[in-house]
Amino acid sequence: MTADCEWNHEFRMQNEIIRHLKDTDTSNLLLYQDTFSLPGRDRDRDHRVLVFPVRGPSLSSPHTDRMSMATRMSAAKQLLKALESLHRCGIIHGDVSGGNVLWDMVPLDKYNTATKYKYLGRPKKAALQPGAWKAGELVSEAKIPQSLLRAKVYLSDFGLATDANNQIMNKWRPTWGYCAPERMHKFPASFAGDMWGYMCIFMSLYFRHSIFDRGLDAIVTALGPMPKEWKGLKEKPEDEWYDQNMRVDTKEVLERMFKLELADVSTAERGHIISIILAVLRYRPGERLTATQLLHHPSFKAVMNMYCP
């Protein structure tokens, strides 16, 4: 990255987070350990490289489905605490998604190369395409065995993070399937937008699949019409998204999900999960619970006491 490059933003935001959270628990945030520069194609441009500790695959990987409900709910609690720490120091993550939360894994530092290859396989490499400005190789992603993963999780990727008190409108949007509806209507990033992404992760951890992969169509099917004053703010909208005559009972939608997918869950647990979801999945950002409020929500505490006391 160059000093004036937008991709250098992550380095600046990580430094802001480290500065703000120096007296706070950052154990669930993936922060860089070191940095160095490599010469770029142009002599006056260097690429900054951030060095991170080795972590496992993301929550979006198939590994997550193999985790127990207790482990998945523990991950949900850890992530919410990480967001609370971030929000308390005035930092909006901007892209809270399953792909940006990583599982911990057993450290491999003490093992020799042969043992690492035994667990991870030998690196598969391919030469860069002809015509690249510099010779090099692409290395395929390592396949991490389930046995190496641990229950701790880390919130990563601060490339879209912003200071809530000094926001610059970012042209980039959060990951599809986790993007809050107001962000698709040209609203700026916010703590509430992070909480929408968090709840999408919470639901995918609980139900073992993504909920809003179809974007606004899926959101409207579950929550009903969006605020009428939003109409006209999004490019290529569908009129039915804002049809105030549409009637949707979100609680009934969630009840049907339980009957189809988790019919054996107790009535009490079902009620708590629905209460948690309804407290955050609201169109108007100001109506969503904050990270701190959700951590202290009676239903959230009840579910966490069931699975990770």
* 191-206 residue pLDDT tens: 999 999 999 999 999 9
**Percentage of the chain exceeding pLDDT 90:** 72
User: Where are the extended beta strands (E) located within 40-122?
Assistant: 46-51, 91-92, 101-105
Q: In degrees, to the nearest 5, what angle opens at C-alpha 300 toward C-alphas 200 and 86? A: 60
Structure tokens at 306: 């069931």
Please report the domains of the chain, with CATH numbers, ordered by start residue.
6-307 (1.10.510.10)
User: Residues near 70 by Cβ (< 8 Å), separated by ≥ 6?
Assistant: 307, 308
- What's the pLDDT score for residue 135? 80
Give dist(CA 187, CA 146) in Å, integer.
40
Q: What's this model's pTM, rounded to 2 decimal places? A: 0.92
Q: 169 pLDDT band (50/70/90 cuts)? A: low
Is the predicted pLDDT of residue 219 greater than 50, yes or no?
yes
User: Residues near 7 by Cβ (< 8 Å), separated by ≥ 6?
Assistant: 1, 159
- What's the pLDDT score for residue 2? 42
Q: 265 pLDDT band (50/70/90 cuts)? A: very high
Identify whether the C-beta of residue 104 lies closer than 8 Å to the C-beta of residue 111. Answer: no
- Rounded mean pLDDT of the chain? 91
Is the predicted pLDDT of residue 223 greater than 80, yes or no?
yes
Is the predicted pLDDT of residue 46 greater than 60, yes or no?
yes
Q: How many CB atoms lie within 10 A of CB 189?
A: 25
Q: How many CB atoms lie within 10 A of CB 56?
A: 21
- What's the pLDDT score for residue 1? 46
**Using CA atoms in the order 108, 114, 118, 122, what is the torsion angle rounded to 10 degrees?**
100
Using the structure block, give the residue that is written with the tokens 């991870």: 120
